[in-house]
Amino acid sequence: MNILDKITRDKRIEVNLRKQLIPIKQLEQSILFERKTISLSKKLKESSSGIIAEHKRRSPSKQVINHDLNIFDVAKGYENAGVCGMSVLTDGKYFGGSLDDLLTARSSCNLPLLRKEFIIDPYQIIEAKAYGADVILLIAAILSKEEIKQFSELAKSLNLEVLLEVHNEAELYKSIMPSLDLFGINNRNLKTFEVSLETSKQLSKLIPNDFVKISESGISSTEAIKTLKPYGFKGFLIGENFMKTNNAGESANQFIKNLKS
């Protein structure tokens, strides 16, 4: 069983528990459920840097990245640095995140927020909306074509944008549908954890231009971004690079300045 299978198995148990604790009706009464969402794809199209900065305390591949940074400060710092959006990990067991992180980020910045989560149930999409997300992540590797369609259409009905993440051609081909906004190519092989930007380069040619293309994982230098831009990428998801410093916002600020110089 690879790490993705393990996470998915645990996630099903967790979501079933959450459903019993907080019914959908209650989520729909959340004050944030009615808020107007902010478009990440629009921000990326208008931006020269395309940086989506992540809040991530730990990961299965790196263990602890940073447990000291306060998400309120990180979100403010990212916004001041001029990033296009912020990705907030809400998985607790493997990444040390929570839905409260999403709430805190929402209260501290006006960036488009991506709920970075292993979504396997429509309940989590309603949850994302109730906790202030603007975008949800769907991972092709753990979903069938029917689930991708069902989940992305539900998200659209809630005015949430959908970022679909793929790792290979097969995942890409089963996923192309009009209810998606952004395509993310994950450069990390989830079975071996090896990272290669070649994945982004190869798969970019297969994504129709109606979708905003995002490259994820292994982007730790401005050179990487300059290499990927000619392949049509508008967005670049950067997590560990900023989070492993003691001031994620300042680190993002410096990175964007270097990118523009």
The contacts of residue 79 (CB under 8 Å, 6+ apart) are 86, 109, 110, 111, 249
Is 56 catalytic? The answer is yes
Per-residue model confidence (pLDDT) at position 59: 86
List the catalytic residue out of 41, 49, 54, 161: 54
Token pair 């020269």 is at which residue?
48
Domain of 251, CATH number, reads 3.20.20.70
250 is catalytic: no
CB under 8 Å, gap of 24 or more: what pairs does 154-159 form?
154/122, 154/125, 154/126, 155/125, 155/128, 155/179, 158/125, 158/126, 158/129, 159/36, 159/37
pLDDT at 84: 98
Task: Give pTM, 2 decimals.
Answer: 0.96
Q: Which of 41, 49, 187, 217 is catalytic?
A: 217
Looking at the structure of the chain, the number of domains it has is 1
Supply the pLDDT for residue 2: 83
Q: What is the pLDDT of residue 28?
A: 98
Known catalytic residue at 165: yes
Catalytic site includes residue 70: no
171 in catalytic set: no
Domain of residue 73 covers 3-260
Is beta strand 63-64 parallel, antiparallel or unpaired with respect to 85-89? unpaired
pLDDT at 69: 86
- Concerning whether 46 is annotated as a catalytic residue, the answer is no
Interatomic CA distance for residues 50 and 48, integer angstroms: 6
- For 242, the 3-state DSSP assignment is helix
Residue with tokens 């970022």: 163
Catalytic status, residue 107:
no
Going residue by residue through the chain, which has 261 residues, state the pLDDT in tens, using 9 for 90 and above. 788 899 999 999 999 999 999 999 999 999 999 999 999 999 999 999 999 999 999 988 778 888 888 999 999 999 999 999 999 999 999 999 999 999 999 999 999 999 999 999 999 999 999 999 999 999 999 999 999 999 999 999 999 999 999 999 999 999 999 999 999 999 988 767 789 999 999 999 999 999 999 999 989 999 999 999 999 999 999 988 999 999 999 999 999 999 998
Catalytic, out of 11, 116, 129, 234 = 116
